Homo-oligomer: A and B are copies of this chain.
Amino acid sequence: MGQLLKRMTRGVALLPVAALTGALAYAQDADLEARLAALEESVNSSASSYVDNSYLFLIGGIIVMLMAAGFMCLEVGLVRSKNAAMQSMKNVVLYAVAGFMFWLVGYNMAYPGSTILGGLLGTTPVIWSGGDLEAMSDAGYAPASDWFFQMVFVATAASIVSGTVAERVKLWPFLIFTAVLTGFIYPVVVSWEWGGGYLDSAWAFSDFAGSTLVHSTGGWAALMGALIIGPRTGKYFGKQVNPMPGSNIPLAGLGTFILWFGWFGFNGASQLAAGTVTDINSVAQIFANTNMGAVGGTLFAMITTAVLYKGKVDATMVFNGALGGLVSITAEPLAPSMGASVLIGGVGGVLAVLTVPILDKFKIDDVVGAIPVHLVCGIWGTIIVAASYGNHIMPVEIDGELQTSYVGQLVGVLLTGVFVSIASVIVWTALKFTIGVRASEEEEMAGMDVSEVGLEAYPDFTNA
């Protein structure tokens, strides 16, 4: 109903100023003044930049949303077929839980109107209720576009945990952990930095799109989960590591590409504005650098795995290398040159490969390699940010502005790590001693699909 009306009247809004009268006969002041005033109003009321900024959040937001599908494909491809339906479903549900909790408490906690404890805790944990549709927000973009963009980030953090603890965690405790992570833990971390809190003001901590805030947060939560839940039955015999190969490598490859695709929104739209020359130039450069980070991660991981495995190139390591490169460039995807982006991502790719055997040594069973990719590369990417801002060791003040530094970055990494780890341990442990966190050995052997989902992922052709 409203649509038809809009169809008919919209054209009018496009021509806010009266057409030129043609002959310029009498150039009278009063006439000139009226025309000028009309023009001023037209220009001043232009929503052009406002629309450009909002589009950045909306388009960036939906492609980050698709990263949830990318995580699903990656994780489902890397679990055994008897857990594939569970993993598929868990990824859909966790995205829903993350959105629900971020609406209910998370968003206002992450971007609080006021804080206590020196910026450590926001004090507005209330439901986010949308903005005024008629008014131009002072922020320079549509209010809901920001909510949407921030929401898909919290879902990313939750997706990271899902992969690590796969194949043995039970559905309900996982969902409860997800709810706490997305409603409380993640928002607190975000409030310290993007919310303008402690890390931002006291340490000039810099994390452009979330190597630490999103990826390490997810990584620490995953690590604590892996420690408390324990490895899959049969994964480790003494010093022997029993490989449990993923059941659908092409699906993992598709997931990798979808995540790479979504990362342009993740990093690009984190510029937060696109309506000026500098902003759109920056968004474009972020796209290019983000791609080069992934390029570096892919190529370096490929070479590393070829060296380690006598010429054979482990596909899953290459996929994780690409993702490790992306995580690494996320903390600062604008300042580095294209070549530096290749190197930053490349180191990430190497770390993603080398961390895997170390985790196995400690019998930390990370099904999809999320800890190497998101936690280790997240730390690396965050620390190296200081190289783009004058290589300061300590956060010195120059011209009255505190400088980003290696120590400042490390403080941010550690504070996040300590807080997320403690909070995660509390929640995982509480779940363990109440409803329990892992399936029985019998259920695990049968597969989570049979025991938790009640159907098989691939009933027509599973031999396993």
How far in angstroms is the closest Cβ of chain B from A80?
Answer: 6
CB of B459 within 8 A of CB of A461, answer: no
CB of A35 within 8 A of CB of B32, answer: no
CB of B275 within 8 A of CB of A455, answer: no
Of the stretches A50-58, A232-240, A352-360, the one at the interface is A50-58
Kindly identify which residue among B11, B66, B272, B285 contacts A257, using a CB–CB cutoff of 8 Å.
B66
Complex CA gap A87/B249 in Å reads 10
Kindly identify which residue among B17, B52, B142 contacts A283, using a CB–CB cutoff of 8 Å.
B142
List, in ascending order, chain B residues with CB within 8 A of A139's CB: 7, 10-11
* Any B CB within 8 A of the CB of A89: yes
Chain A 75-96 per-residue mask, 1 if CB under 8 angstroms from chain B, else 0 = 0100011101111110111011
CB of B461 within 8 A of CB of A270, answer: no
CB of A253 within 8 A of CB of B91, answer: yes
Interface residues contributed by chain A, number (CB under 8 Å): 173
Given A1-B404, A249-B458, the answer on whether A268 and B96 have CB atoms closer than 8 Å is: no
CB of B205 within 8 A of CB of A1, answer: yes
CB of A457 within 8 A of CB of B80, answer: no
How far in angstroms is the closest Cβ of chain B from A449?
Answer: 8
Kindly identify which residue among B36, B141, B273, B337 contacts A130, using a CB–CB cutoff of 8 Å.
B337
Given A40-B35, A51-B280, A133-B282, the answer on whether A464 and B453 have CB atoms closer than 8 Å is: no
22 contacts between A and B (CB under 8 A): A1-B200, A27-B32, A27-B33, A32-B33, A35-B36, A47-B276, A58-B264, A81-B460, A85-B315, A88-B250, A92-B257, A96-B294, A97-B299, A99-B295, A130-B337, A134-B278, A144-B281, A248-B250, A250-B457, A312-B454, A460-B463, A460-B464
